[in-house]
Structure 1
Amino acid sequence: MIKQFNQSNYRSICDELASADADLADIIDTYGYPPLWSRPNTFETLVHIILEQQVSLASALSALNKLKEYIQEITPARVLLLTDEEFKTCYFSRQKTIYTKYLAEAIISGQINLKELEQLPDDVIRAKLTALKGIGNWTADVYLMFVLQHADIFPIGDLAAVNALKRVKKLPKETTREELIDIARQWAPYRTIASMLLWHYYLASPKSSPKERTLKK
């Protein structure tokens, strides 16, 4: 059975995690509950996630908005009418132009059906998405977490989540990927919500929180 979260159970899951992990409880006590970040299951959303790969959220949103301004509605059919030069004027890199066109073609051809993904388990969704050019595990993680609201994903490829985990747990910078995955495993079956708490901490806290500064003295 696919475990999901929604508006009605989100805070109770946060509370359940906080009762089992004092560091997560401290995030809620200090910064409040994280927003329930969510996105619609659309082609536009996947284009947006592709744009977010390895760049700031602000620059990705700027490119998405520029494309939307240019073609009004971001659909597979409309983006396939654009030339590479037109994509460039919308702040798309050459690689992200290729990825967006490939995704559009995959949807039009029926290779990928976003509505059908809603009924499938994590590993099948991940396999279908990562079979597409330009979509790796990070993009699949964000899709599973923000779009389908699957509850038990830890995005090990996300630097913000990883750095927040290291700071919250006071781990050395050289902590390995495997060690981080093991630490996150304690939050199952709600690793997605734990990750949202980490993102909330990362976005809300200064580079060095008062608690961290005290510990360093």
Structure 2
Amino acid sequence: MSFIKKRIAAALFIADVDPHMRKVIRAVGDCRLTLRRNRLHMLTRSIVGQQLSTKASRTIYARFCDLLPDDYSHEDILKLSEKQIRSAGLSRNKHATIFRIATAVEAGDLPLKTLGRLQNEEIVNTMTQLKGIGPWTAQMFLIFSLGRLDVLPHTDLGIRSAFQQIYGLSELPTPQQMTDLAAPWSNYASIGAWYCWQGLDRGVIG
């Protein structure tokens, strides 16, 4: 089954088993989650976007890409100076993380081409061994690069806020509360997360 068919089936399933999410899915419409097949690009984009708004992340990543060839590789990144990368608006920590990623790919310590053969937990454990990559970044990689359907980013503030509003909670939910609420559709948690993000962006949640 193609990824497009999988995401359609997932949205239908979530809407069927969860009336709260059904309202969000109907308001947002078809799931248009698209995969970013270039794993290095996806990972660097996630680093740039850490703790930034979507708009700011897009702007800074575009500036970063302006420094590189369209189909840039880890070798192209390693040719850049810190001054060049910082000029795009990246912090010193993000510059260091992106360089660590490029260096790890070069050395074979971060095998992006073969990570997809591992289970989710193994991928997260492998990626988070590299300083600057936390669980959130690894989860974004699982969802948007590998197309894993069963990932729920418990620490994402947007997802937590969406859950609070969708389920009428008095406070932001804990990771365990989120797991419990999403249990009926845990196999399609990535699609549920996408609808949470889209619902917030489009103002249909809250």
TM range (shorter): over 0.9
Q: 1:142 to 1:5 in 2, by over 3 A?
A: farther
What amino acid is the match of 2:94?
Answer: K
Highest CA radius of gyration, 1 or 2? Answer: 1
The match for 1:215 is none
The alignment's TM-score, normalised by the length of structure 1, stands at 0.88
* Among 121, 128, 131, the residue aligned to 1:130: 128
The match for 2:45 is 48
After TM superposition, the structure 1 = structure 2 runs for residues 1-217 of structure 1, keeping only pairs within 5 Å, are: 6-73=3-70, 74-205=72-203, 208=206
| Equivalent pair of 1:46/1:143 in contact (CA under 8 Å) | yes
Q: Any unmatched runs of 5+ in structure 2?
A: none
Partner Cα distance (1:37, 1:205) in 2: 21
Q: 1:173 to 1:26 in 2, by over 3 A?
A: same
Partner secondary structure for residue 34 of structure 2: coil
Q: 1:175 to 1:124 in 2, by over 3 A?
A: closer
| Equivalent pair of 1:152/1:189 in contact (CA under 8 Å) | yes
The alignment's TM-score, normalised by the length of structure 2, stands at 0.92
Partner Cα distance (1:120, 1:201) in 2: 31
Aligned residues: 205
| Cα drift, residue 206 of structure 1 | 5.3
What amino acid is the match of 1:69?
Answer: D
What is the CA deviation profile of residues 125-163 of structure 1, one whole-angstrom value per residue up to 9, with x for unaligned ones?
111110111100000111101111111110011111111
| Equivalent pair of 1:79/1:104 in contact (CA under 8 Å) | yes
| Cα drift, residue 168 of structure 1 | 0.5
What is the CA deviation profile of residues 162-212 of structure 1, one whole-angstrom value per residue up to 9, with x for unaligned ones?
11111010111254332222222232211111111212211112574xxxx
Q: 1:142 to 1:124 in 2, by over 3 A?
A: same
Partner Cα distance (2:30, 2:114) in 1: 32
The match for 1:212 is none
Partner secondary structure for residue 32 of structure 2: coil
Partner Cα distance (1:119, 1:189) in 2: 18
Aligned-CA RMSD value: 1.7
Q: 1:144 to 1:5 in 2, by over 3 A?
A: farther
What amino acid is the match of 1:11?
Answer: I
Partner Cα distance (2:14, 2:172) in 1: 26
Partner secondary structure for residue 3 of structure 2: coil
